[in-house]
Amino acid sequence: MPVIDVVNLSKAFGPKVVLSKVNLQVEEGESLVVLGGSGSGKTVLLRNIMGLLTPDSGHVAVEGKIIAELSREDLFTVRQSIGMCFQMAALFDSMTVFENVAFGLRRHHKMTEDEIRARVEECLGMVGLKDTDKLKPAELSGGMKRRVGFARAIALKPKILLFDEPTTGLDPVMTDVIGRIILDLKHELGVTSITITHDLKSAFEIGDRIAMLFRGECIACQAPADFKANPHPVIQQFLRGDADGPFLQDPPPPKRNPQEAHA
């Protein structure tokens, strides 16, 4: 039985259909990477998995439990087994790094302060951020915030990790660092994960399978090598990073000769 089972998931906001009959299954310990253009419904997919949104039709099941049918209490129990890393980290800005990472532990575990401190230090160590525990989120760089977000997500030892565009807006070096941390977490914790990213390099490193959302539909979900070889014109255009092709709804501006552009 898949750990995460997305079945015929559809979601629309007013007239705009964001997801249309999406089917995805993620097995235990597997790492799925979801690619897609901006507005293709990737984040909406994660928010449905977390139960932050309710599907219009279809359902999401986590470990066999249909998320939309759970009571608030049962939903919170399921959420304790899922770690969510937000695109912009979503750290609690009134708290220090330590308090952010310790938040879930204090709410859900009867641990002593020493045990909490040890676990927070362990989590911060895993993301390479020791000795930052007294800092406030405003004092951190974008990459550091994401990593604190990772530490907060793994503090409760979740079985599932969801990463929402963890590298967006970061420089290439920090993007690589984040990619390595996700790989480390995958190997050290053995968690099932879904990663949404635009960064193809990390996508092929992280993913056991790669899915692609296009205009609300899942047009591919396969192993990295097969995905690269997929002849679908949208996938090939996405992999090339070319503006010309069926990917964009509105035609892109005409391509200029580089010499002409610099003149």
Partner 1 sequence: MVLAVFDKIGAAVLGATDTFGDFAVLAGRAFIAIFKRPFDGKNLLNQFNSVGVNSIPVVVLTSLAVSMVFAVQLAFGFRQFQAEGLASQVEGLAVMRELAPVITGLMLSGRIGSAMAAELGTMQVTEQIDALECLATDPIQYLFVPRLLASMLVVPLLTIVSVYIGFWGGYLILVGVEGQSAYVYGHEFYKLLAFRDLRIAIYKGLVFGMIIALVGCWKGYRTEGGAEGVGNAPTSSVVTSSLWILISDFFLTKLLLV
Give me the residues that bind partner 1 (CB under 8 A), please: 47, 50-52, 72, 76-77, 79-80, 82-84, 86-88, 90-93, 103-104, 107-108, 152, 156
Query: What's the closest the beta carbon of residue 132 comes to partner 1, in angstroms?
Result: 18
Torsion of CA 80, 84, 85, 90, to 10 degrees: -80
Question: Alpha helices, DSSP H only, in 53-108?
Answer: 72-79, 97-108
Distance between CA atoms of residues 219 and 199, nearest Å? 18
**52 versus 223: smaller Cβ distance to partner 1:** 52
N residues, the chain:
263
Minimum distance from residue 84 beta carbon to partner 1 (Å): 4
Q: Which is nearer to partner 1, 69 or 226 (CB)?
A: 69
CB of 244 to partner 1, least distance (A): 33
Residue whose CB is less far from partner 1, 86 or 214: 86
Residue 82 has, within 13 A of its CA and on its CB side, a CA count of 25
Least Cβ distance, residue 110 to partner 1 (angstroms): 10
Closer residue to partner 1 in complex, CB, 158/212: 158
| Minimum distance, C-beta of residue 239 to partner 1, in the bound complex (Å) | 30
Residue with tokens 């939903």: 75
CA-based radius of gyration for the chain: 19
| Nearest in space to 192 (alpha carbons), one of 26, 1, 25, 14 | 26
CB of 103 to partner 1, least distance (A): 6
Partners of 160 in beta bridges: 82, 192
Nearer to partner 1, 78 or 189 (CB): 78
Give min distance, CB of 104 to partner 1, in A.
5
* Spatial distance between the Cα atoms of 161 and 194, rounded to a whole number of angstroms: 7
* Closer to partner 1 by Cβ: residue 149 or 216: 149
What is the CB-side half-sphere exposure of residue 79 using CA atoms within 13 A? 19
Looking at the Cβ atoms of 137 and 216, the one nearer to partner 1 is 137
**What distances in angstroms separate CA 198 from CA 40, 43, 191, one per listed residue?**
12, 12, 22
β-pairing, 160-164 with 192-196?
A: parallel
